[in-house]
Structure 1
Amino acid sequence: MNTFLKRIWIGLAATLLVSLAAVVLPDQVQIDDGRVHLGAPLSRPSGSASARAPEPEATSPTLTRNEVDEAIRTAIRRAGLRPEQGKSTAPAGSNLNRTGWMAVREKPAAQSEMKAICVDLERQGWVLNPSGDSADASRSYKRGGWYLLVSTRGKTQAPSNTLSASQTYLTMTGLQLNLSDLPLPEITIRMR
């Protein structure tokens, strides 16, 4: 029984690692015939016709935190909200590699506001990450060395007494990551 539990934990850990890698480095993760390949792209094309290939990021200069903050405020305004309706999740000057905004919203409104924010981010030149996103709950983008997650997943981010049953958080979380300098080993995992 102990060996069985160990295999389950190893499987869960491998799944978690693959999921994280797919979100952060979508162009470095390929799934082909039940195998997950991390690192350099496969030499042969993937057999999965249903998976969309990530769009290459347009060449853009590295953004500063202030530019990302302005992109967030612009998208919020164009979605019909005021930045003052929420609060910053990383106060100015606290961390130059992280920023964000969040507000408590009614669930039906949050869905349409998230979609409007995403449309504006794409208009601003942010590139959608097609892997691992849920159109109704979260979308992630990248641009200029930054990754931006737009989400309406509320109950898991706060104690249950913070939100009513009809409310959720509308959040935007930005992280500056320069992962292109980190070489990834080529790893292939066979999923059974």
Structure 2
Amino acid sequence: MNAFLKRVWIALAATLIVSLAAVVLPDRVQIDDNGRVHLGAPLAKPSGSASAPVPEPEPTSPALTRDEVDKAIRTAVRAAALDPEQGQSTAPPGSNVNRTGWTAVLERAAAQSKMKAICADLERQGWVLNPNRDGDDAARSYKRGGWYLLVHTRGKTQAPSDTLSDSQTDLTMTGLQLNLSDVPLPEMPLPEITLRMR
């Protein structure tokens, strides 16, 4: 009986994890009608007619290197009339090829317009705004070439710091490389469970 309960709990935990992943990253994790999990690009739905053309998959941008993401960040910062050298890297060169970023302290009154200018230039460079966000004024996330880039401002109330005055805030860009299609997901049959109500 203990082995059966253990299998039930493992199955429930796996289902919960996959369901949360499908909500957080709907463009990377899909669950089909049969309950099978697919990682990577969305699955093409079978057409009703054999002669009907199969829809083309959505074009994806080529994979970017960390150096290319760093260059995109510096270009966007310059487009906002800021000097990249006045800020600092959140991941020094050579520390991690899958993570990068830039941050600077700005006057709160100017931070919002600078962030909008940065976001406009990222979109000009081909970065795609995350459709799951509603274009929040305090944070926006983008994706391109296997990278996710979060641009946000945070005040002293969200990140207490002795270095920030009440009129200052942080403007931060955080880049993270994710490739969920390379993560193997073992096929695990779920046990059949029958509940009887008395």
TM-score by length of 1: 0.66
Structure 1 match to 2:92 = 91
Query: Retained in 2: the 8 A contact 1:71–1:124?
Result: yes
Alignment of structure 1 residues 48-87 onto 2, 5 Å: 58-87=59-88
Sort the Cα spacing of 1:125 and 1:135 in 2 relative to 1 into closer, same or farther, 3 A: same
Q: How many angstroms does 1:134 deviate by?
A: 4.7
SS at 2:76 equivalent: helix
Render the CA deviation track for 1:23-70: whole Å, top value 9, x for unaligned: 5x142589xxxxxxxx668xxxxxxxxxxxxxx974211100000000
Q: Return the alpha-carbon distance in structure 2 between the equivalents of residues 133 and 171 of structure 1.
A: 19
Once the two structures are overlaid, the 10-residue window that deviates more, 87-96 or 127-136, is 127-136
Q: How many angstroms does 1:21 deviate by?
A: 6.2
Q: How many angstroms does 1:160 deviate by?
A: 3.4
Gaps of 5+ in 1: 1-13, 31-38, 42-55, 186-192
SS at 2:162 equivalent: coil
Q: How many angstroms does 1:182 deviate by?
A: 3.8
Question: Structure 1 counterpart of 2:102, which letter?
Answer: W
Question: Aligned pair 1:146/2:162, yes or no?
Answer: no
Render the CA deviation track for 1:42-99: whole Å, top value 9, x for unaligned: xxxxxxxxxxxxxx97421110000000000000001110101100010111110000
CA RMSD of aligned residues (A): 3.2
Sort the Cα spacing of 1:63 and 1:110 in 2 relative to 1 into closer, same or farther, 3 A: same
Render the CA deviation track for 1:86-131: whole Å, top value 9, x for unaligned: 0001011111000000000111211000000000000000010021
Q: Return the alpha-carbon distance in structure 1 between the equivalents of residues 70 and 169 of structure 2.
A: 22
Query: Retained in 2: the 8 A contact 1:110–1:168?
Result: yes
Query: Retained in 1: the 8 A contact 2:28–2:180?
Result: no
Structure 2 match to 1:27 = 27
Q: How many angstroms does 1:154 deviate by?
A: 3.3
Q: Return the alpha-carbon distance in structure 2 between the equivalents of residues 83 and 131 of structure 1.
A: 29
TM-score by length of 2: 0.64
- How many residue pairs match? The answer is 151
SS at 2:169 equivalent: strand
